[in-house]
C-alpha cells in the first residue's frame, strides 16, 4: 500500500517547465502567455520568475551585481556570482514547493540552466565543465531544487536580442538602460552558444527558434509552438 501511496503523491506533483534563453529572447512574455493558456484550458498554473529581485535577500544582491555595483562583468569570479543566483532560488524554495504541491503546472522564467549558461560562458573551455558541474551540485544536490521536467530554449541572435532589450521599460534593479550582462554582446554570444550545447545533450530540452527567414517571428507564432510542445498535461490519459 505504501508504494501505491507514494505513486499517487508523485502523480499529483506539478509538471515543472522552465523557459530559458539569452536576455531579450522573450522568456517573460512567453512564460506569461503559457500560464494564461494553461489556466484557460482548466488547469491550475503558477508562474515563478527568477531572479526575484525585490522578494529575496539574494535577489537584491543579484540586482546589485547586474547594476555593476560589485564591479564589471569579469571582476567577480563566476562561481561566486553563481552563488547569488542559487541563493535567490534557495530562498524561493518554499514558494516553489508550495506551487508544485498545489498546481497542475509550474512555469519558470529562468531556472538553474540560466546560472549554468551565464556563468559557464565566462570561463575557458578547460574550466567550463567543472564550473557547470559545481553550479548544478549546489543547486540540485545541496539546495535540493527540483529538476525541471522539460526545458524550452528560446533561441535568438544576439544583435536582435540587444535591440529588444533596448526597448524594455526601466527595471527596478538597475539604473542602466542595459545591465552589465545585457550590454556585452560577446558575452551574450557565449551564453547563447552554451545554451545550445546544453540543449544538444540534454534529452528533456527543446529549442524554439525566435527568428525565421531573416526576421523576428511573431509572439503569437512562438506561443503557439510552445503550446503544441507543452500541450495539456494528461489530456490523452482518459
Q: What is the pLDDT of residues 2-35, one digit of tens each?
A: 344 343 334 457 999 999 999 888 999 999 999 9
pTM across the whole model: 0.86
Q: What is the 3-state secondary structure (H, E, C) of 163-204?
A: HHHHCCCCCCCCCCCCCCCCCCHHHHHHHHHHHHHHHHHCCC
DSSP output for 206-217:
EEEESEETTEEP
Rounded to the nearest 5°, which phi and psi values hold at 209?
-80, 130
2-230, what's its fold?
Rossmann fold (3.40.50)
**Separation in Å, CA 205 to CA 7, 77, 202:** 25, 28, 6
Query: Residues 57-72: what's their mean pLDDT?
Result: 93
User: Of the candidates 49, 51, 53, which has an alpha carbon nearest to the alpha carbon of residue 29?
Assistant: 49
pLDDT of the residue at 214: 76
Q: Which of 88, 38, 10 is nearest to 231 (CA)?
A: 38
Residue matched to cell numbers 535577500: 57
pLDDT in tens, 98-147: 999 999 999 999 999 999 999 999 998 889 999 999 999 999 999 999 99
Residue 236 clears pLDDT 50, i.e. is over it: no
DSSP 8-state class, residue 14: P
Closest CA to 82 of 124, 123, 50, 118: 118
User: Residue 7: which H helix or E strand, with range?
Assistant: helix 2-11
Phi-psi region of 144 (alpha: psi -120 to 50; beta: other; left: phi over 0): left
DSSP assignment of 140-173 equals IIIS-PPPPSEEEEEE--HHHHHHHHHTSPP-TT
Average pLDDT over residues 82-87: 98
Q: Hey, how many other C-beta atoms are within 10 angstroms of the C-beta on 70?
A: 15
Q: State the pLDDT confidence band at 231, using cuts at 50, 70 and 90.
A: confident
- Residue 11 has phi, psi (to 5 degrees) of -65, -25
Q: Are 107 and 19 in contact (CB under 8 A)?
A: yes
Nearest to 22 by CA among 153, 203, 197: 153
Residues in contact with 166: Cβ distance below 8 Å, sequence separation at least 6, in sequence order = 177, 178
Arithmetic mean of pLDDT over the chain: 87
Report percent pLDDT > 70 for the chain: 85
The CA distance from 169 to 8, in Å, is 45
Amino acid at each position: 500500500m505504501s508504494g501505491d501511496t507514494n505513486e499517487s503523491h508523485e502523480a499529483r506533483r506539478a509538471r515543472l517547465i522552465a523557459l530559458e534563453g539569452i536576455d531579450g529572447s522573450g522568456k517573460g512574455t512567453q512564460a506569461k502567455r503559457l500560464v494564461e493558456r494553461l489556466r484557460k484550458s482548466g488547469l491550475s498554473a503558477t508562474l515563478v520568475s527568477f531572479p526575484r529581485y525585490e522578494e529575496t535577500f539574494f535577489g537584491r544582491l543579484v540586482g546589485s551585481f547586474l547594476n555593476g555595483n560589485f564591479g564589471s562583468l569579469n571582476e567577480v569570479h563566476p562561481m561566486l556570482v553563481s552563488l547569488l543566483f542559487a541563493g535567490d532560488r534557495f530562498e524561493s524554495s518554499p514558494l516553489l514547493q508550495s506551487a508544485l504541491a498545489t498546481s497542475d503546472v509550474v512555469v519558470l522564467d529562468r531556472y538553474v540552466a540560466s546560472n549554468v549558461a551565464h556563468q559557464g560562458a565566462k570561463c575557458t573551455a578547460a574550466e567550463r565543465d567543472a564550473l557547470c558541474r559545481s553550479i548544478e551540485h549546489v543547486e540540485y544536490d545541496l539546495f535540493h531544487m527540483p529538476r525541471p521536467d522539460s526545458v524550452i530554449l528560446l533561441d535568438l541572435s544576439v544583435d536582435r536580442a540587444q535591440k529588444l532589450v533596448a526597448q524594455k521599460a526601466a527595471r527596478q534593479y538597475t539604473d542602466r538602460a542595459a545591465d552589465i550582462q545585457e550590454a556585452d554582446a560577446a558575452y551574450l554570444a557565449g551564453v547563447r552558444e552554451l545554451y545550445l550545447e546544453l540543449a544538444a545533450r540534454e534529452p528533456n530540452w527543446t529549442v524554439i527558434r525566435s527568428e525565421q527567414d531573416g526576421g523576428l517571428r511573431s509572439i503569437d507564432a512562438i506561443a503557439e509552438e510552445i503550446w503544441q510542445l507543452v500541450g495539456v498535461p494528461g489530456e490523452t490519459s482518459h
